[in-house]
């Protein structure tokens, strides 16, 4: 059933994901995007902070552009579980009626957003890569890849509120910190006891391996079908190790079984935004470009001068990767004193 009084819903909210006392990069990115949406709508931007002992993170939420911070600080929220977080966020939305709610398209965000949207009986657009708003209609323009990445679809939520979207990490820039910025803090109770929850966190086991840091890497050395085989990722690993970077891969290389899917960059893998992205033997299919084209510097190494990756590259090296990559590695080693 559609919401009758859409005008009752005001404000843009960003759910603040955090771990170990630090705000997740995607939440900082969303505060920047939410600020732009709120300014166009001439409304306020709020961060929503749920957890245990989260007070020390409030100043950072303000410094990234929020006007308000809604806080539920309760020991029951020490570790993420669907029920208590859904309960807390759902009740906040019911009470304060935000017009827009944004979350990161992370494992947590995807779980929580679906649960909350279902309880609110509103729409949810998942995995957005662009956000904008029409100030006249106040509709959030939620854009995401569709049909295997062949088109970009802009989705609207016309008759329900709030308008909810998850956004991929690393597709939007972080806003600069504004030292000394502050605002209103609104504290609420969770209203749920530990004995009301059926699940318990027994142990948290952190995943190991370089690939788990792919979305946070500042230098990525990625390979594609042009490598010709799994054994040739060794060349890329040597370059990555020299530069302190992380390996990445195209979907073609992953589907060929040359490297784990944990390393896949692109629409069906991880979206990245490193300072330097080496695309080696990667043709540049649209689904790959969607996941890396906002990198600060893109270096393409390919023997095909007409490959799509060349069109988005900052620097292109047309040549045999089996000669170019070892030469680059050796040169970097000399420059960095690692030879």
User: How many Cβ atoms are within 10 Å of 318's Cβ, its own excluded?
Assistant: 14
What residue numbers does the annotated binding site cover?
A: 225, 250-251, 264-268, 281-288, 302
C-alpha separations of 168 from 105, 231, 268, 292 in Å: 5, 31, 11, 12
Binding positions for FAD are: 225, 250-251, 264-268, 281-288, 302
Q: The tokens of 34 are what?
A: 């939410």
Q: What is the phi/psi pair of residue 184, to 5°? A: -90, 135
Decide: helix, strand or coil at residue 135. coil
Give every CB contact of residue 92 below 8 A, 6+ residues apart in sequence: 48, 70, 72, 188
Give the CA count within 13 Å in the CB-facing half-sphere of 148. Answer: 2
Residue 39: partners with Cβ closer than 8 Å, 6 or more residues away: none
Cβ neighbours for 56, distance < 8 A, ≥ 6 positions apart: 21
C-alpha to C-alpha distance for 155 and 298, rounded to whole angstroms: 30
Contact 260, 211 (CB under 8 A): yes
Q: Are 89 and 13 in contact (CB under 8 A)?
A: no
Residues 176-197 as b or e (16 or more Cβ within 10 Å = b) = eeeeeeebeeeebebebeeeee
């Amino acid at each position: 059933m559609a919401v009758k009084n859409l005008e009752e819903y005001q404000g843009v909210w960003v759910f603040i994901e955090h771990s170990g006392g630090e705000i997740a990069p995607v939440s900082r990115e969303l505060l920047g995007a939410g600020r732009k949406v709120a300014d166009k709508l001439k409304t306020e931007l709020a961060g929503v902070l749920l957890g245990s002992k989260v007070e020390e993170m409030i100043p950072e939420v303000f410094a990234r552009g929020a006007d308000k911070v809604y806080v539920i600080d309760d020991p029951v929220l020490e570790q993420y579980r669907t029920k208590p977080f859904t309960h807390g966020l759902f009740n906040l939305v019911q009470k304060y009626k935000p017009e827009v709610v944004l979350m990161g398209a992370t494992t947590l965000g995807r779980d929580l957003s679906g649960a909350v949207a279902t309880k609110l009986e509103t729409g949810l657009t998942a995995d957005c890569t662009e956000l904008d708003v029409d100030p006249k209609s106040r509709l959030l323009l939620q854009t995401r890849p569709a049909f295997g990445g062949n088109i970009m679809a802009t989705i609207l939520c016309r008759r329900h509120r709030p308008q909810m979207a998850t956004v991929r990490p690393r597709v939007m820039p972080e806003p600069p910190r504004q030292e000394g910025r502050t605002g209103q803090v609104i504290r609420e109770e969770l209203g749920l006891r530990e004995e009301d929850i059926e699940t318990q966190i027994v142990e948290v086991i952190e995943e190991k391996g370089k690939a788990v840091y792919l979305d946070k890497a500042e230098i990525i050395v990625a390979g594609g079908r042009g490598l010709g085989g799994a054994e040739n990722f060794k060349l890329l690993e040597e370059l990555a190790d020299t530069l302190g970077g992380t390996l990445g891969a195209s979907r073609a290389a992953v589907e060929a079984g040359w490297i784990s899917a944990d390393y896949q960059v692109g629409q069906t893998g991880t979206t990245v935004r490193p300072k330097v992205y080496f695309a080696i033997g990667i043709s540049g299919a649209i689904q790959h470009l969607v996941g890396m084209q906002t990198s600060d510097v893109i270096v393409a190494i390919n023997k095909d001068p007409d490959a799509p990756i060349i069109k988005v590259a900052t620097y292109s090296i047309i040549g045999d990767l089996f000669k170019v990559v070892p030469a680059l590695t050796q040169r970097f080693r000399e420059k960095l004193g690692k030879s």
